[in-house]
Structures are given as structure tokens and as C-alpha cells.
Structure 1
Amino acid sequence: MKWLKNVKLEVGNQISEDGLIETKTDFFHLGINEGKLVEQRHYSKNVPEQDEVIDANGLLAIPTFKEMHNHLDKTYLSLDWKACKPVKNLKERLAFEAQELSDLAPSAKQRAMSMIEKILSNGSTHIRTHVNIDPYIGLKNLEGVLEALEEYKHAITADVIAFPQHGLLRDDVPKLMREAMQNGANMVGGLDPAGIDRSIEKSLYETMEMAIEFNADVDIHLHDGGHVGYYTIDKWMDFVEEANWQNRSAISHAFCIGEVPEIQQKALAERLKENGVAIMSTIPLTKSLPPIELLDDHGVNVHLGCDGFYDSWSPHGNGDVLEKVQKFAQISRRSEEVLLRESLKWATGGITALTKDGEYRWPKIEDDASFIFVDASSSAEVVARRPYRKAIMKNGEMVYGSLSESFEYIK
């Protein structure tokens, strides 16, 4: 038995003197056994002296994050600095990346480990990574990424997606994709059935056939915009329904949903909800956003990710999914306590400490003992101010940082 004492948790709503909702917190001692929360005591009670005790020093505990759209194989991290090479168009960018990734292949594990460390330090204990599978790199990047993830298996869980960056319907890519699925990838990826593969139905059909063959979930990059992208998502859900593949797929980026009339957005949101198709967004500054709040209101699962960062596509980014939440809160003008607090769900996979009405919901007995520790008064402050993540615990074990430094603790 292990005890985590003096932990600040959010416990409900309280009304301030000027009538505004604030978040009420209190302090607890949390009993942990075999990675699970098994007991929760108010701070006024003692903990057994014979058990291992870790003092959280009054820090706020929030759920760990999920980085749900990433490319561990592409980063320059751990290498010398270099900005992006200028190119004239997407075709040139893809050609340059193909050449570069071949040159970078020997350092795939090293670079991926550096990226994992960065993402972990920001509080994510799950990473969904797309890994290039193409005629230029074969399975080399996959091998390096899997080796890197093995090094961090104590701290990180992962979805590893076989990603046809240069198109699924070309050369030996379908064969290579199947080899990737046989050698460690556990999800099937796709990319722009119209813009890259030039055949929406054929591309989606091949993607679903592969998913069925390997009993795998699917995540499709979709940059195709407007009505073309809308049609692509709508057609994908036809395949989902025909294959009974509900709750097993996601569309990443999905700018197109925000580029069609609202009546179509709502109709598509209903189908997404019915088929359990999630939307992954990186909250880009240069593209249309999918209507996240509308999708959320319709019960569609929305997750955020940082995409690739510091690579041949962009020198920007830091692997902090909380920054993505903060950016969306700014864009959507979420400035009230409850709206800020609720926004954290897009980083945690839907988990929040409180409901909108202030009802306590996390952590509860039998939940995983996985926490981020921050010096903050509430989740709302965490979203608005993005405090330093002091320490991260995964299933009862510290996997990053330390709680050893003292913090002022007021009972």
C-alpha cells in the first residue's frame, strides 16, 4: 500500500461574494495499490505510518493527458537546429520529406525518444503516433518508434498507426502497410482519399479492408476541404455501417466540417455520433477548424494533439497538448470558470474532476492512480495559465518530475 498525502482535489462549485461560480477544493490522502486508487481520506485523518508515503505538498492533481495526433518518426529533436527548407508546393514538400526521412532513419529511435520525453514532461501519458509507411522508408521508422516506445512503456501507452504519407494507392504501399500491421503497428491510417489518392471510394475501401483483416481501428488524415472533405467523411461512415465498425475510427484535422453550412455540420455530427467516429484536431492557426463545440454538443468525441513538431513541415511546437486547449479556449472565448474547467476534457480523453454543475466525478475508487501535479487553484486556472507540470504519476509510480520540493500548504 502506498499513500499520496496532502493532495489538492476539486470537490464542487462555490459562489463568490459577487455571485460568480468558483471551484471549491479540499485536501486528501489517497491510498494506492497495484496502480489503482483504493482509498481516499480527508486530510484531517492520518495515514498508516508503516506504509510508503509521498507528500504532494498541497499541489493540485488533475488527470493525465492524451496526445492524440503526433508523428514521433519525423522530428528533428536531439539533432542540431535547422529551420524548414522552403518549397513551392505540397508535391515538393513530400518529395523532400521522402529523401530526408531516408537520411534520418538511423536516428529514428533517438529522435522519437527525445519527442516522447518532451511530450511526457508536459503531462501526456498516452500518445497516438502516425508512422510513415512508404516506398522510401519501408518499415525503418516503425522499427525505431517501436524501440523508443519500449523504453518508455512504464510511462507511456501508445496507438501506433501505419500511415501512408505518400498515398495508399501507389506502388507497393498496401503490401508495406500490411507488413507494418504484422510488425507492431496497431492501427490503420489513411490520407486524403481525394487530394492524394485521387479515388475516394477506392481509398476508403482499401482502408476498411485492411482494418477488417487486422481487426484494427482506423485514423484518417483528412485535409481535403469543403464539400469534397464532407463527402469523404459521409462516405466513410457508409463503410463503417456496412462493416459494423462503430466506435473504431477517427478523422484527423477534418477542416471540411467547418467549411460547410451549419445544417450540414449538424447532420454530419449526428452520423459521427451514431457511428462513434471521433474527430482529432491540432487547433491550427492557418486552417479552418472543425466546429468543436457543435460536435461536442452532439456527443461526438473530440480529442486534441500537437501533430509533428520541429520537423521538415514546421519548426514550431512544443508537444504540450494543454497549449492546444488554451488556444481553443482563446479562439472560442471561453473565459468563465466552468467553461475553462470543462475545456480540460479535450486534453484528458474526456475526464474532468467535476461536471458542469459542480458534481464530483474524479478521481474515484478503482480509477487508475495517474495524475499531473501543478501549483494551481483549479483546472480553470490550469487551462488559462498553463502552469509548469511539477510531476507526473502513472498507475501509482512517478514517471516524470518530483514532489520533493516544498510548497506552501494551507489546510
Structure 2
Amino acid sequence: MNWLKNVRLETSETIDKYGRIQTMTEIFNLEIDSNGRIAKIIPSRDSPSDQNSFDAKGKLALPAFSDLHNHLDKTYLSLQWKASRPAKNLEERLAMEAEELVALAETIEQRADAMIQKHLSNGVNHIRTHVNIDPFIGLENLYGIKRALDKHQDYLSYDIVAFPQHGLLKHPEMPDLLRAALQQGATMLGALDPGGIDKDIENSLQMTMDLAKEFNVSVDMHLHDRGQLGYYTMRHWLKIVDEQDFKGKTSFSHAFGLAGISTGKQQLFAKQLKAHDVSILTTIPISINSQLIPIDCLTESGVFVGIGCDGFYDSWSPYVSGDVLEKVREFCEYTGKKTERELRESLKYVTKGITPLTSEGVYQWPKVGDEASFVLLDASCSAEAVARVSQTQSRTLINRGNIYLNN
């Protein structure tokens, strides 16, 4: 494809007679070069002479989406329906999962492929997936996940996190299993609740740091521990980061400990996270008993926040749709966001921080030289796309000029 024709782009904003902000759009033609980047942006009335084109037919272009917290190895997609089994607590759930993932191992590539295709159809061109590495499954899931991801390399990029779902210290073989995973295709190191699961915060965190530095990889740490336990864990990790010169290589996934501390502490700690260049990657809880972490406070302090689906349709929950745009809508609904700017700005949580307009309504994306990666969808603007997201909404992913048409 040399040209993307008749694509709707957000250009500015205006205020109507009621004082309500409205997003303005226009139709353009975009030339895509051989490297998958934008070479020209011209008004649609200026028809390109090259016939190798794709007609967007007036659909809105948004930055391609990212799912920054996923578990491709756990989904039931492509298998017969089954609901989740009840579990009394996290440890019981993990024990059930250990048994189940062994039984599911033979369908790992099939199930992961089904989830990847669902993401591509929804407009996702980057997936960060955690893959269980443990004494029960070994590296089998890693191999299957990598095969599934590599089949779609024209349409997406990925991170694979070697994830010790059953703890780092509880099984003596875990450090060597994680080393093997990082040698065999995992691109990042995971960690899980050094307090709640490993029961030894200091040693668990230090071993995680030792492994990360051994392989020069970043760390994505699942932290479900709430209140002071989770808060202490994060503060202690930042202390180790300072001691080991590891700034800019940490993500805290979930970080539920942030929800159980005072507003003042949240604001102070958000500044520390920013100073250490720590990302927060989370999902939006469904249960009304689950507190949402202070995403707005983190964002105001300049902390990068990304939203993912976590697992969807797996042993943990049958409900999650697997649509990151729906997660953004849920976030806006839970936090009372209703205005054009609030809805429009929230898109950044699934676009790696990119939005078509600045917070003041000034054009900033796409520009000549940018990667030609878009989601095309039926909406008048990004605020409508967020607020009125629908599972039946037709979307087309374009990744570096490659059109994904399997939807």
C-alpha cells in the first residue's frame, strides 16, 4: 500500500454555544513509504496519482492500540465453554492453575493464536504478555507463545515476560528456569508478590534484581498485595533500584498497594515513581469491592500508565471481553469522566501515550515521519470512540503500512 485514502483525522477543537468542547476533523490522504512510515499528508481533494491505495471511506484513524498486561498462555479461547472454578484465596487459585495449565499445554499455540487474532481485529499492534515459567509447565508455554506471536510479525510487536506465577523462592529450581526462559526468547523478567507469595520481600526482590542485571533486562512486577504490604514492597524495590543503578527499567503491574494509602502518600510516592522512571501497568477491576489505583494522580505526576486486559476468558474470569478500548471506557465510567477532553485524553492509556490532539486541543498526530500504524473505526472522534465503544464496532488495524484484514 502506497496511499491510505479518505481517512478522517482530528485537527482541532471548538466550543459550541453551550460552552461544550467539540472535536473537529477533516479527511486526508496519507502516503506510506517502503519503511512503513508516513511520507505525505494531503487534503483528500488532492487525489494521489498512485493507484496502490486503501480507501478508509471516511473512517476515523486513531493510534494503534497496545495491551500492556496480558496472559496469552491462560486463555480458554478456541476451547469449549467453561466457567471459572471458585477459589478461597490467591494461593488456592494458583494451585488450581498449576494443575490446569499442564492439561492445557497441548493447545497453547492454538489458544494464544485465537487471542492474538482477537487483539488484531480490535486494533492492537503491541502485546506485552506474561508467560508462566514454573516447575509444573517448564518452558513449554514460552515456546508455544513465541510461535504464535511470530506468525503475526507483520502486524504486531511484543514483549514476553518470564513470569514466576508460583513464586521465586518457594521452588529451588525457579532461578535456573527463569535463566533458561531469558535465554530462549523471553524479553523481560517478571516477579510476583514478594510478600504475599514468597513471604520474604528483601530476598525475593534482591534475587529478582540479580537475575535482571545478569541478563540486562527490564522487570515487570505483579503486585497484588494491598495496603502497607504492597506499598512497602514498592518502596523497598526503589531503594534497591537506587543502590543498583537500575533506573528506567521497572514496571509495577496492578500496584494495588497504591489504593490503600492516603491521598498525601499517593501524591508523594507518584513523584518518586516519576523520579525513578517507573511505569504502572494495570487493568480496570470489575468487582465493586476492588479499589481502583490512583491513575489520575499518577498521570498528573508524569508517571507512564498503561492499561491492559490482563487475562480474558480463563480460569480467573469468564467475563473480560479482551478489548482494551472497552477497558478505557470502564476507566472513564468508574472515575466520572464525561467531557470531550476527559474522554479524548484517556485514550492515551492504550496508545503508549499518543493522542491525536494535545490536552489543549492542538493537532499533534499523525505527522510526516511517524510510523504508519493506525486503527480505523466508525466514530466521529476519539471521545466518541471511547464513550460509545461497541463489541460489534468494525475496526481495521494498519501496522507499519500492513493492513490486517482477518476480521
TM range (shorter): over 0.9
Aligned to 2:280: 279
Q: Cα distance, 1:289 vs. partner?
A: 1.5
Aligned to 1:405: none
SS of the residue corresponding to residue 405 of structure 2 reads strand
Aligned to 1:32: 32
Q: Cα distance, 1:93 vs. partner?
A: 1.7
Residue 397 (structure 1) aligned with residue 402 (structure 2): yes
Aligned to 2:146: 146
Residue 133 (structure 1) aligned with residue 133 (structure 2): yes
Is residue 393–residue 400 contact of structure 1 (8 Å, CA) maintained in 2?
A: no
C-alpha distance in 1, partners of 2:136/2:165?
Answer: 11
Q: How does 1:160-309 map to 2 (within 5 A)?
A: 160-171=160-171, 172-286=173-287, 287-309=290-312
C-alpha distance in 1, partners of 2:282/2:295?
Answer: 9
C-alpha distance in 1, partners of 2:79/2:270?
Answer: 42
Q: Cα distance, 1:23 vs. partner?
A: 0.3
Q: Cα distance, 1:155 vs. partner?
A: 1.0
Aligned to 1:407: none
SS of the residue corresponding to residue 344 of structure 1 reads helix
Letter in structure 2 aligned against 1:392: L
Is residue 391–residue 401 contact of structure 1 (8 Å, CA) maintained in 2?
A: no
Aligned to 2:75: 75
Is residue 131–residue 160 contact of structure 2 (8 Å, CA) maintained in 1?
A: yes
Q: TM-score, normalised by structure 1?
A: 0.95
Q: Which moved more, 1:243-252 or 1:154-163?
A: 243-252
Is residue 69–residue 128 contact of structure 1 (8 Å, CA) maintained in 2?
A: yes
C-alpha distance in 2, partners of 1:257/1:155?
Answer: 35
C-alpha distance in 2, partners of 1:378/1:92?
Answer: 45
C-alpha distance in 1, partners of 2:86/2:346?
Answer: 36
Letter in structure 2 aligned against 1:122: N
Q: Cα distance, 1:296 vs. partner?
A: 0.3
Letter in structure 2 aligned against 1:356: S
C-alpha distance in 2, partners of 1:93/1:375?
Answer: 40
Aligned to 1:352: 355
Letter in structure 2 aligned against 1:15: I
Is residue 97–residue 312 contact of structure 1 (8 Å, CA) maintained in 2?
A: yes
Q: Cα distance, 1:45 vs. partner?
A: 1.4
SS of the residue corresponding to residue 220 of structure 2 reads strand
C-alpha distance in 2, partners of 1:174/1:121?
Answer: 37
Letter in structure 2 aligned against 1:289: L
C-alpha distance in 1, partners of 2:130/2:395?
Answer: 29
Q: Cα distance, 1:244 vs. partner?
A: 2.1
> Alpha-carbon deviations, 1:67-111, whole Å to 9, x = none?
010100011111111111223333322111111111111111111
C-alpha distance in 2, partners of 1:24/1:120?
Answer: 28
> Alpha-carbon deviations, 1:377-408, whole Å to 9, x = none?
10000000014142110000102357xxxxxx
C-alpha distance in 2, partners of 1:240/1:400?
Answer: 44
SS of the residue corresponding to residue 317 of structure 2 reads coil
Is residue 122–residue 396 contact of structure 2 (8 Å, CA) maintained in 1?
A: no
Residue 42 (structure 1) aligned with residue 47 (structure 2): no
> Alpha-carbon deviations, 1:184-219, whole Å to 9, x = none?
001000000000011111111111111111110110
- Give aligned pairs, total: 401
Q: Which moved more, 1:89-98 or 1:54-63?
A: 89-98
C-alpha distance in 1, partners of 2:233/2:29?
Answer: 50
Q: Cα distance, 1:312 vs. partner?
A: 1.2
> Alpha-carbon deviations, 1:32-89, whole Å to 9, x = none?
00200010101121211x3412111111100111101010001111111111122333
Q: Cα 1:319–1:400, aligned 2, differ >3 Å: closer, same or farther?
A: farther
Residue 53 (structure 1) aligned with residue 58 (structure 2): no
Aligned to 1:120: 120
Q: TM-score, normalised by structure 2?
A: 0.96
C-alpha distance in 2, partners of 1:300/1:88?
Answer: 34
